[in-house]
Amino acid sequence: MDWKDFFKEEESKEYYIKLMKSINKAYDTTIVFPPKEKIFNAFDLTSMSNLKVVLLGQDPYHAVGQAQGLAFSTPSDVKNPPSMRNILKEINSDLQRTSFCEGGDLNPWAKDGVLLINAILTVEEAKPKSHHKLGWEIFTDNLIKFISANSKDIVFILWGASAIKKEKIIDANKHHILKGVHPSPLSSYRGFFGCKHFSKTNDILKKLGKSEVKW
């Protein structure tokens, strides 16, 4: 099984057809991020055969030049947003070294087997969660169910209340779930710092005989 099997399944469903109509109209009439050709960037960079970790975000960054179709990631020439800065701080504290992705571009993680996927894949400029309830949540729920059913020993990292809700659609007998506070400045001091999810993920991968992620 690979991503094209998943997309083939979804593309014929009524919600997906409606979602794509809404998204195409939005790109034609408003400013939407990420660039249209990067909406499914996460799937282009992380193959299902190489998948080790699923890191779930909420929706894309909504300022010009930030979103690139990977949860939490920004191009390296763009200033790191607050959530990304907190992720880098936690890596530093957890692993006792700086991240290999200090510039905020997480393409190396994606190529290393980390699916960086948001629950909502598009957003209007300066309007966070503006594409909530268009159908993306159904898409990502179905994606998580597909991964859960067709893979084994994937580490799911769930940060924040909306991500943690997805726990119920993951088969915990087959997979590994790490959950905690979102890295946003609004919540990070309530338990994101000190969660050690980066070392914990690598410990799990090591025990499974898989290569560790170069965080």
Give per-residue pLDDT as tens, 134-147: 999 999 999 999 99
In the sheet with 114-118, reading across from the earlier edge strand, the strands are: 114-118, 53-57, 155-159, 176-180
Mean pLDDT of the chain: 97
**Phi, then psi, of 199 in degrees rounded to 5:** -70, -35
Which pLDDT score, from 0 to 100, does residue 162 have? 85
- Predicted confidence (pLDDT) per residue in 56-109, tens digit: 999 999 999 999 999 999 999 999 999 999 999 999 999 999 999 999 999 999
pLDDT at 161: 87
Domain layout of the chain by residue ranges: 3-207
Helix, strand, coil shares of the chain, percent, nearest 5, are 45, 10, 45
Beta strands in the chain (DSSP E): 32-33, 53-57, 114-118, 123-124, 155-159, 176-180
The owner of tokens 């991968």 is 205
The strand pair at 53-57 and 114-118 is best described as parallel
**For position 83, what pLDDT does the model report?**
96
User: What's the mean pLDDT in 41-53?
Assistant: 98
Tokens of 27: 């790109």
Catalytic residue among 2, 5, 44, 59: 59
**Class of the 3-207 domain?**
alpha beta
Rounded to two decimals, what is the model's pTM?
Answer: 0.97
Tell me if residue 59 is catalytic. Answer: yes
